[in-house]
């Protein structure tokens, strides 16, 4: 028997397994935006200047739309940021989709190119450095997001990390004994620390699944990039994600409860602050003992490399 919408009794278009409820399209949209508001408010967010970082994928596209719909209720001054990573067609398509969709919303936006900050494109850097593409790309994106938002006086950067991402990140941290990764990051709100030139973080979707983000895009007819980044094929995190298929069959709440448990244990324990210092080159925070951040180290490596100067 098909499930009915828990609000109006019509046939459900989506079932949220972890809550064992169904929604029709209209009431799903209400539920989704209510979740975003509730998650932020419960974590102590009470408004500010928010720059939403939009990749062109379904998660951050859904986030941009939802934040735009709830911004007045949450007292948010909203702007969107897209970083063009110059990863072949993938980046071209992502940028086109972002440009097309942002025009439907009444919010300011900015598009920047990673190569202008780094001195080379992500595919060039990936060839140069022996590290997984996603980890290099991630550190570059984080530095650029923080720089732009800080320079433009924004309080927070909002990202589209969802429940599947965060739960798998924690799972991988446990399986690989990276206990520090369990203690920090990936919470709903990380407050701004202006004394360290560090913009705050908002992750309003960490209790929302990929499936719900996809459905939110479909119901609102929001386009998104539906092919994978060619550099992230075979990424370890994706392999770990498959573990949830088994766990969720056993218990549909497992992923949600697992993530909540880790966040709640964290709150109950005493955590020493990590020691952050300003990078000697860029002035943004770093944990490195030589006080040069990973972004500046990478830039230095590019400068001393044989990447064709004409291409920079």
**Running DSSP on this structure, what letter comes out for residue 71?**
T
Choose the contact partner of 7 out of ligand AMP, ligand FES, Zn ion, none; CB within 5 to 8 A by kind.
Zn ion
242 and 173 Cβ atoms separated by less than 8 Å: no
- Select from 24, 229, 296, 298 the one that contacts ligand FES (CB under 6 A): 229
User: Measured from the CB atom, is 197 or 203 closer to ligand FES?
Assistant: 203
**Phi, psi of 14, deg, nearest 5:** -145, 145
Helix (H, G, I), strand (E, B) or coil at 38: helix
- Select from 54, 229, 282, 298 the one that contacts Zn ion (CB under 5 A): 282
Query: Contact between 85 and ligand AMP (CB under 6 A)?
Result: yes
Interacting span for Zn ion (CB under 5 A) from 20-28, 65-73, 160-168, 198-206: 20-28
Which H helix or E strand runs over 73?
none
User: Measured from the CB atom, is 13 or 86 closer to ligand AMP?
Assistant: 86
- Select from 133, 188, 208, 282 the one that contacts ligand FES (CB under 6 A): 133
Q: Least distance in Å: CB of 276 to Zn ion?
A: 12
Choose the contact partner of 293 out of Zn ion, ligand FES, ligand AMP, none; CB within 5 to 8 A by kind.
Zn ion
User: Measured from the CB atom, is 197 or 299 closer to ligand FES?
Assistant: 299
- Select from 39, 62, 66, 82 the one that contacts ligand AMP (CB under 6 A): 82
Q: How far is the C-alpha of 260 from the C-alpha of 107, rounded, in Å? A: 32
User: Measured from the CB atom, is 176 or 264 closer to ligand AMP?
Assistant: 176
216 and 64 Cβ atoms separated by less than 8 Å: no
Query: Contact between 53 and ligand FES (CB under 6 A)?
Result: no
Distance between alpha carbon 72 and the CA centroid of its chain, in Å? Answer: 22
Helix (H, G, I), strand (E, B) or coil at 274: coil
User: Measured from the CB atom, is 56 or 192 closer to ligand FES?
Assistant: 56
- Sole residue written with tokens 């951050």: 60
Describe the chain by its helix, strand, coil percentages, rounded to 5: 50, 15, 35
Torsion over CA of 82, 85, 87 and 91, rounded to 10 degrees? 10
Q: How far is the C-alpha of 204 from the C-alpha of 262, rounded, in Å? A: 17
Q: How far is the C-alpha of 172 from the C-alpha of 185, rounded, in Å? A: 14
Query: Contact between 139 and ligand FES (CB under 6 A)?
Result: no
- The residues that touch ligand FES, with contacts defined as CB under 6 A, are 85, 87, 133-134, 137, 229, 231-232
* Residues within the interface to ligand AMP (CB under 6 A): 53-55, 59-60, 81-83, 85, 138, 141, 159-161
């Amino acid at each position: 028997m098909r499930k009915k919408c828990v609000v109006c009794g019509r046939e459900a278009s989506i079932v949220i397994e972890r809550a064992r409820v169904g929604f029709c399209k209209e009431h799903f949209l209400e539920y989704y935006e209510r979740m975003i508001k509730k998650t932020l408010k419960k974590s102590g967010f009470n408004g500010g200047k928010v720059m939403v970082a939009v990749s062109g994928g379904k998660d951050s596209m859904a986030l941009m739309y939802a934040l735009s719909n709830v911004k007045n209720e949450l007292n948010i001054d909203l702007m969107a940021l897209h970083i063009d990573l110059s990863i072949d067609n993938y980046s071209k398509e992502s940028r086109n989709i972002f440009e097309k969709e942002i025009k439907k919303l009444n919010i300011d936006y900015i598009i920047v190119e990673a190569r202008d900050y780094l001195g080379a494109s992500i595919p060039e850097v990936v060839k140069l450095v022996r590290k997984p593409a996603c980890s290099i790309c991630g550190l570059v994106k984080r530095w650029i997001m923080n720089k732009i938002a800080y320079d433009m006086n924004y309080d927070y950067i909002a990202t589209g990390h969802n429940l599947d991402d965060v739960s798998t990140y924690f799972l991988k941290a446990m399986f690989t004994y990276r206990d520090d990764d369990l203690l920090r990051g990936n919470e709903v709100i990380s407050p701004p620390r202006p004394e360290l030139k560090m913009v705050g973080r908002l992750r309003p979707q960490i209790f929302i699944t990929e499936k719900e983000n996809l459905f939110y895009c479909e119901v609102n007819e929001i386009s998104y990039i539906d092919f994978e980044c060619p550099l992230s094929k075979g990424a370890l995190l994706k392999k770990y994600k498959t573990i949830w298929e088994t766990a969720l069959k056993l218990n549909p709440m497992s992923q949600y409860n697992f993530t909540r448990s880790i966040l709640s244990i964290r709150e109950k324990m005493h955590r020493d602050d990590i020691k952050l210092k300003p990078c000697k080159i860029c002035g943004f925070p770093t944990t490195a003992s030589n006080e040069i951040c990973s972004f500046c180290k990478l830039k230095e490596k590019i400068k001393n490399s044989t990447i064709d100067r004409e291409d920079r």
